[in-house]
Structure 1
Amino acid sequence: MKKNIIANFIGRFWSILSNFLFIPLYIHYLGFESYSVISFALMIAGIMAVLDSGLTATLSREFSRKDNNDEDKLKVYKNLETLYFFMIGICILSIFLSSNIIAEKWLNVNSFSPQQISVFLKIISFEIGFQLLFRFYMGGLLGLENQVEANFFQVGWGIFRNGLVLVAIMYIPTLEVFFAWQTISTIVFTFLIKIFLDKIILGKYTIHFNFNIEKKIISKIWKFASGMMLIAIVAAFNTQMDKLAISKLLSLENLGYYTLAVSLSQVLIVLVNPIATALLPRFTAYFSGNKIIEARNLFMKTSLLVSVMIFSIMMVMSFFAKNLIWIWTGNSEIATKTFQLVPIIALAYTMFALQFLPYNIAIANGYTKLNNILGIGSLIVTIPGYFLATKYFGSIGAATIFCFVQVITTFIYIFLINKKFIKSNIIKDIYWKQFILPFICAGIVALLFSKIPLTFDNNRILSLIWIGFVTFATLVITLAILVPVKEIKSIINFRKSKI
């Protein structure tokens, strides 16, 4: 498990690094409004993720179940792959055929004509479709606990898709070239990861597609998959509706600023996700083996460390937001127009990240009902809230609604998951130890560091080094206050335990 967590951290660290390295370069070579179009493409990809229909999560879960033999896994894989190709076709056609309407009726863009926007959308329809398929195959590798190999493909894909595209746009700085390069890279890596996954499942390298639907297999997985599908649909509304409102009511440039703040805040998700991804097969094995105490102990130990880590980083991110964006982009105007969004969005993503481990507890037990109830309930606030808040308060209004919903749903979600599966003292062990204390301790430490006057605040390198030191110091001090040394050692040595 330790190897898998390290591999996942490397994969997610690449995601962080690629954001910090490449986004400023995209802005430099293509211009900020082009980056805003890229932001809109990312939003569409987020909405189209609903077409995954829970199939990736289902594949990962079925592969990690100890009560499934190799033949069962192969049948599930082939049936889900067949369904997935059908979904990919819907994804590509829906974007391709609606591209003209979106370009003419929805977006407010100054630098590009509706015809150009339509061409961009037609290109990215294939990229988004194959990106979903790539993540489906990656979910299979993760379920088999081949997480080192999964992250090898993740990093390789990121290098080719997000890094080497710079070579192309340096010589031909157009969005057509940018999107075409990303599309080709995604298609190539999708076939490569499929070949590798087939080798594990079938015992041989193959590119053969055996389309097959068996009623028995579908009836076995449909309940979990349908629950995950509803989660995906609701999540798409709840995570993309803010951007959708901004793209409709404000200029596309505003979406670019908002996306920058989101990209910075998503560091919190990227840091927690490797831990959650590595632990899901272990949680599934524990619960399927009726080892409830072991599952509870694993959850309590890891969730405390996760809370300390993300609250420490969130607080530093909030108090040093303007400096971070300036260091990142090298543009003080962009930093001035973006930094006020960061504390609000960072808190929202912190609360969202705190749901990851409880969510894995639910998924390990095949329990998706609660996610759907809370998600659908939150739409009562988000659907009118985003559009009204954006109309009257701009991007800040959208960010505030997003943060409010995440805070409320996180407290409710963790309370109910704890009551059903974890059965710890919700006030003392979770709300107090994992929410309130890390928030207060990390906040005080980061605030004190932010009050120290600096003589090198015009130097990006020295400023980055200082913020890095502040982050490390905040994390260490908060850990020392809240987490006993013996607890840290027990988590490190947890990999020695046997399932």
Structure 2
Amino acid sequence: MRLSGNLFAGLANSIWSALIGLAVVPFYLKYLGIEAYGLIGFFVTTQALLSLLDMGLAPTINREVARYSASGNLQEAGKLLHTLAIVYWSMAGAIALLILVLAPLIAEYWLQSKQLSPQSISHAVMLMGLVVACRWPIGLYQGALIGAQRLAVSSSVSITMATLGSLGAVLVLAFVSPTIEAFFIWQAGIGLVYAVTMRWAAWRVIGRLKWLRFNVDELKRIWHFSVGMSGVALSATVLTQLDKVILSKMLGLEEFGHYMLATVVVSGLYVLILPMFNAMFPRLTTLVVAGDTGKLTDLYRLGTRMLATVLFPIAMVLVIFAEDLIRIWVGNQDIASSVAPIISLLAIGSALHGVMFFPYALQLAYGMTRLPLIINALLMIVLIPLIIFFALTYGALGGAIAWLLFHVLYMLLGTWLTHRHLLKGLGMIWLTQDVGIPFVLSFLAGLAGYYVIQNSDSSYMKLMLGGVLALTAVLFSIAMLPTYMRTILLQNIRHDK
């Protein structure tokens, strides 16, 4: 499938999933309340932390399927997929059992609630484990489809399941039982259907061999890359989830719910980031295998520039117009006032994080898992005291301050270390031109918007102005693309196969 087709399919999936996810939040708040919504936020964090048990196998199957696809021997990837599937389904059962055992301890000693009983929280945590277990194998089959560059198939399944999961949950809360337990039971059922459907789709694309068995040799072949990716995943998950883990302990569920509400809004930026990564990573891997450094450099720079061109203006809108957006969305001025400053800081940090997905993709395309592991280890030394200090001082807002400072450091350190080893000499050009130009244009547009909105009381008018400013920044950034980048962009849209 064409690169542009994969990218549009991924974007469609991410945009729809984000929109449907945002649309149901007011209903969750209405039927469950802010403390129960805090439990949903805790579930999201738990799911991310448990992804460490993946041991790097999902990105490994992605890379291996991409390599098999590049050599024209895609069906051979079925041997590895079958072996890893046995590992994944076994791990799903272990996860459910682990959380079942830990649930009473989490309810009593970790989460703090004024309205929910410890028994209700314990039951909810047990059901979280069931949901995570049901959804666990999805990552493996999704990785296989992405590696085969079948994002259209993966996206179609994901869009359907996201719709059923979110809208179905609202119907269950409205007409069956407005409880957090009912919410998680529904999510568990949808998760299981999701996993089975994704399994069917992956095998249909790859094609089954006649004889399949658990093959230890397949695990031995990939263990080096997989272990490296496991270390990267461990450090990356700590870096991206540590703020939430610490705040879930330090804050009450109500204030933690505010923080998680802000993260839900800012997660909309990943609507652009993840599809771009999923579309570009297999292509970068193919160019590395082919040894075509020229095309690799061009695609790396163009991908970064196009992502930054759209990502930074949207982040700018969130920074300037966060309070108006939340007021319209949830209809509560108190929540809007509390959440808006957190959104502003998280948005800038997440936008910087987004463009760093390209150096990360470049590292993985070369099979260099040690480099991101070193970068993450260095950053972790700084992040932990940052979060603790700012969270103790400023609460939920402190977590957002730490997130921003961390990603500024990540961009500087990560760019320097990446281009000391890969595409040497490109680091400063990449940072000042491919990242810097879209950032400066978005900053100037945001500055103009900040002064203009002082004379307006209408939230709708402010958001419309934000949209106009964001579009203006995007157009200016595209106009400033070098000629060769515009040529490559048109070639990928029209002729890439």
TM-score range, shorter chain: over 0.9
Give the % identical residues. Answer: 25
* Separation (CA, whole Å) in 1 of partners of 2:235 and 2:303: 28
Q: Name the amino acid aligned to 2:471.
A: F
- Partner letter of residue 469 of structure 2? V
Amino acid at match of 1:345: L
Give the aligned partner of residue 468 of structure 2. 469
Q: Are the equivalent residues in 1 in contact too, given 2:17–2:163 (CA < 8 A)?
A: no
Q: CA 1:496/1:161 → structure 2, altered by over 3 Å: closer, same or farther?
A: same
**Equivalent residue letter for 1:492:** L
Structure 2 portions without partners, runs of 5+: none
For residue 21 of structure 2, what is the aligned residue in structure 1?
19
In structure 2, distance between residues paired with 1:236 and 1:275: 20
Deviations 1:45-86 (A, max 9, x none): 111111111111011111110247345311111111122223
Alpha-carbon spacing, 1:292–1:325, altered in 2? closer, same or farther (3 Å): same
1:494 equivalent in structure 2: 492
Which whole-Å CA distance do the structure 1 matches of 2:425 and 2:20 have between them?
Answer: 39
**Aligned residues of 1:261 and 1:338 also touching (Cα < 8 A):** yes
Q: In the alignment, is the contact (CA less than 8 A) between 2:319 and 2:347 conserved in 1?
A: yes
Give 1:114 shift: 1.1
Counterparts of 2:494 and 2:55, CA distance in 1:
36
User: 2:349 maps to what in 1?
Assistant: 348
Q: Which residue of 2 aligns with 1:443?
A: 443
Provide the C-alpha distance between the structure 2 equivalents of 1:380 and 1:152, rounded to a whole number of angstroms: 40
Q: Distance in 1 between matches of 2:86 and 2:44?
A: 26
Which residue matches 1:431? 431
Distance 1:434 1:486, change over 3 A: closer
Write the mapping of 1:327-366 to structure 2, written as runs, cut at 5 A.
Answer: 327-366=328-367
Look up the SS of the partner of 2:173 in the other structure.
helix
1:62 matched to which residue of 2?
Answer: 64
**How far did 1:459 drift?**
5.4
Q: 1:454 to 1:388 in 2, by over 3 A?
A: closer
Cα–Cα, structure 1 residues 380 and 275, in superposed 2: closer, same or farther, change >3 Å? same
Letter in 2 for 1:193: M
Q: Select 2:115's aligned residue among 87, 111, 114.
A: 111
Cα deviation, residue 255, structure 1: 1.3
Kindly indicate whether the alpha-carbon contact (under 8 Å) linking 2:359 and 2:418 is maintained by their aligned counterparts in 1.
yes
Corresponding residue of 2:101: 97
Task: Choose the corresponding residue for 2:45, options 35, 40, 43.
Answer: 43
What 5-or-longer segments of structure 1 have no aligned partner?
A: none
Hey, what's the Cα distance between the residues in 2 that align with 1:71 and 1:317?
Answer: 45
Q: Which moved further from structure 2: 359-368 or 78-87?
A: 78-87
Give the TM-score taking structure 2 as reference length: 0.94
Do structure 1's residue 274 and structure 2's residue 275 form an aligned pair? yes
Per-residue deviation, 1:230 = 0.9
The answer to whether residue 134 in structure 2 is matched with residue 133 in structure 1 is no
Partner in structure 2 of residue 83 of structure 1? 87
2:201 is matched with 196
Q: What secondary structure is seen at the aligned counterpart in 2 of 1:340?
A: helix
Matches within 5 A, 1:2-401: 2-65=4-67, 66-67=70-71, 69-70=73-74, 72-171=76-175, 172-202=177-207, 212-401=213-402
Partner of 1:483: 481
Question: For residues 312 and 374 of structure 1, do their structure 2 counterparts lie closer, same or farther at Cα, with a shift above 3 Å needed?
Answer: same
Query: Partner amino acid for 2:490?
Result: I
Shift of 1:391: 1.8
In the superposition, the TM-score normalised over structure 1's length comes to 0.93
**Could you tell which deviates more after superposition, 70-79 or 250-259?**
70-79
SS in 1 for 2:352: helix
One-letter amino acid of the counterpart of residue 389, structure 2? L
Aligned length: 492
- Report the alpha carbon displacement of residue 464 of structure 1 after superposing the two structures with TM: 4.0
Q: CA deviation at 1:29?
A: 2.1
Cα distance in structure 2, aligned partners of 1:486 and 1:425: 16
Q: Go from structure 1 to structure 2 and tell me whether the alpha carbon gap of 1:122 and 1:181 turns closer, same or farther (over 3 Å shift).
A: same
Deviation at 1:345, TM superposition (A): 0.9
- 2: distance between equivalents of 1:466 and 1:454? 12
Report the secondary structure of 1:320's partner residue: helix
- State the 1:109 CA deviation: 0.6
